[in-house]
Every structure is written in C-alpha cells, then in structure tokens.
C-alpha cells in the first residue's frame, strides 16, 4: 500500500504515542513509493536533541533507518536556543514547521496529529 503521510508533533508529551503510530504505519505501509514524514515544532523540537530524546531516541533511529523523514522547525529551534548541529543527524531543518505541514498537505499528504 503506497501512502504519503505527514505526522505533526508539537507537544513533548506526545512523542511516544506519535512514534508508535508512525511505527505501526511503517509496518503495514512500508512499500516503494510511500513517504512518511514527521514534522516537529514548538516544544517538541527539543526531543530531536539526542541528550533530550531519552527513551524515544532508539525508536526515532529505527524509523529513520526505515526511511521516515524527520523535520525540525527552525523558528522553534531559535526560540529554544537550539542550533541545527545539535540535532540528531537524521533531522532536517525546515524554515517553519507550519509551512512544511501546509506544503505537504497541498501535495496530497495525509495529516496525522496524535
């Protein structure tokens, strides 16, 4: 099953739930042509710093290895004083999380927010 999905995470407390949802989707929809993305903004960008990710880091790494794309909002990073080089190596920095979400939805991606 070919799917294009963008997960939106903006609350630190929701990372575990969101990662489980993404993992379940990858298990059933990991086919060529599928594109699964996770966009973090607001306080949720902090968990993309390895020292802050805690127990979520292994799940993030596994998803990244399976082709899930992680994006961090640059505006949120700036508001928390986080430099892009502090992020996990598989996270891409996008100018604004809300813009990334809007662009992906315009491209037909399904939007999921836990």
Residue 32 has pLDDT above 90, yes or no: no
Task: Judge contact between 27 and 59, C-beta under 8 A.
Answer: no
Domain boundaries, the chain: 4-112
Distance CA 112, CA 114 (A): 6
Average pLDDT estimate for 68-72: 98
Q: How far apart are CA 97 and CA 79, in angstroms?
A: 13
More confident residue, 113 or 1: 113
Domain 4-112 maps to which CATH number in 3.40.50.300, 3.40.640.10, 3.40.1260.10, 3.30.930.10? 3.40.1260.10
* Distance of alpha carbon 87 from alpha carbon 47, whole angstroms: 9
Backbone angles phi, psi at 10, to 5 degrees: -130, 0
Whether the model clears a pTM of 0.85, i.e. scores above it, the answer is: yes
pLDDT tens for each residue of 80-100: 999 999 999 999 999 999 999
Query: pLDDT grade, residue 30 (50/70/90)?
Result: low
Question: Band of the pLDDT at 107, cuts 50, 70, 90?
Answer: very high
């Amino acid at each position: 099953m070919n799917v294009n999905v963008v997960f939106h995470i903006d609350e630190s407390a929701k990372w575990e739930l969101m990662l489980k949802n993404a993992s379940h989707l990858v298990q059933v929809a990991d086919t060529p042509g599928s594109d699964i993305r996770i966009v973090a903004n607001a306080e949720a960008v902090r968990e993309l710093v390895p020292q802050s990710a805690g127990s979520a880091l292994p799940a993030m790494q596994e998803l990244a290895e399976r082709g899930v794309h992680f994006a961090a909002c640059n505006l949120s990073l700036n508001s928390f004083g986080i430099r892009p080089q502090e992020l996990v190596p598989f996270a891409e920095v996008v100018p604004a999380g809300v813009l990334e979400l809007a662009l992906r939805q315009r491209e037909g991606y399904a939007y999921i927010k836990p």
